[in-house]
């Protein structure tokens, strides 16, 4: 126990906790920019009940970020000893990750807000927010739930202005991949 305590005392926990915060935020930012949904444990692969796991890479990034944040708060804000700050921050991060991940899993995956490719592939849509070259815009489409709006990118990477009809080719996470269609007069 003394060797563990000596090792913890020798660490600069402020830098360690700060590194956890930055690493978690960086991962979440990259996932957001590139349209990653972080994986939902296979909820799209099953039936309509979305029987996936609520534990995902995004929730682990949340754990990492909150571990660092709780550690900094405990160590500097509340003056808790370094050894206890590690234990308490791990516990607090695990509890908050579990509660928030389960809440978002129930809200988005089980609630049906995740786009299911087998239900949207081939549907007609219209570009709502222009899709820039190589970028992401938004489309409107109708499915069994009514009119939906989703992030979209073009299948060939070209720009598509607002108001242009498109066909949904597939979904990649929460982002739809679409291609132009000619208007039938």
Domain-by-domain residue ranges, the chain?
2-109, 117-180
What's the rounded mean pLDDT across residues 54-74? 83
Tell me if residue 139 falls in helix, strand or coil. Answer: strand
CA distance 172 to 117: 8
Between CA 110 and CA 115, with CA 113 as vertex, the angle to 5 degrees is: 105
**pLDDT tens sequence across 128-179:** 999 999 999 999 998 877 788 899 999 999 999 999 999 999 888 888 999 9
Find the mean pLDDT for residues 33-51.
45
Q: State phi, psi for 6 to the nearest 5 degrees.
A: -65, -40
Between residues 163 and 29, which one has the greater pLDDT?
Answer: 163
What does the pLDDT read at residue 38?
46
Give the SS3 label for residue 29.
helix
The pTM (predicted TM-score) of the whole model is 0.48
Residue 172 and residue 133: Cα distance in Å, rounded? Answer: 18
Average pLDDT over residues 118-129: 86
| pLDDT at residue 91 greater than cutoff 90 | yes
Domain 117-180: CATH architecture, name and number where available: Beta Barrel (2.40)
Query: Parallel, antiparallel, or unpaired for β 146-154 and 175-180?
Result: parallel
Cβ-Cβ contacts under 8 Å for 49 (sequence gap 6 or more): 110
């Amino acid at each position: 126990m003394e060797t563990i305590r000596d090792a913890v005392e020798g660490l600069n926990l402020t830098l360690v906790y700060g590194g956890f915060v930055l690493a978690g935020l960086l991962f979440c930012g990259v996932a957001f920019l590139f349209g990653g949904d972080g994986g939902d444990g296979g909820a799209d692969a099953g039936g309509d009940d979305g029987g996936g796991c609520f534990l995902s890479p995004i929730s682990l990034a949340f754990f990492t970020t909150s571990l660092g944040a709780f550690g900094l708060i405990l160590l500097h804000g509340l003056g808790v000893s370094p050894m206890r700050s590690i234990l308490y921050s791990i516990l607090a991060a695990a509890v908050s990750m579990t509660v928030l991940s389960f809440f978002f899993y129930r809200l988005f995956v089980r609630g049906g807000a995740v786009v299911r490719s087998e239900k949207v592939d081939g549907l007609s849509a219209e570009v709502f927010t222009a899709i820039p070259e190589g970028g992401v815009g938004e489309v409107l489409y109708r499915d069994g739930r009514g009119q939906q709006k989703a992030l979209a990118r073009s299948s060939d990477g070209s720009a598509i202005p607002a108001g242009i009809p498109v066909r949904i080719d597939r979904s990649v996470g929460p982002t739809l991949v679409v291609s132009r269609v000619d208007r039938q007069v």
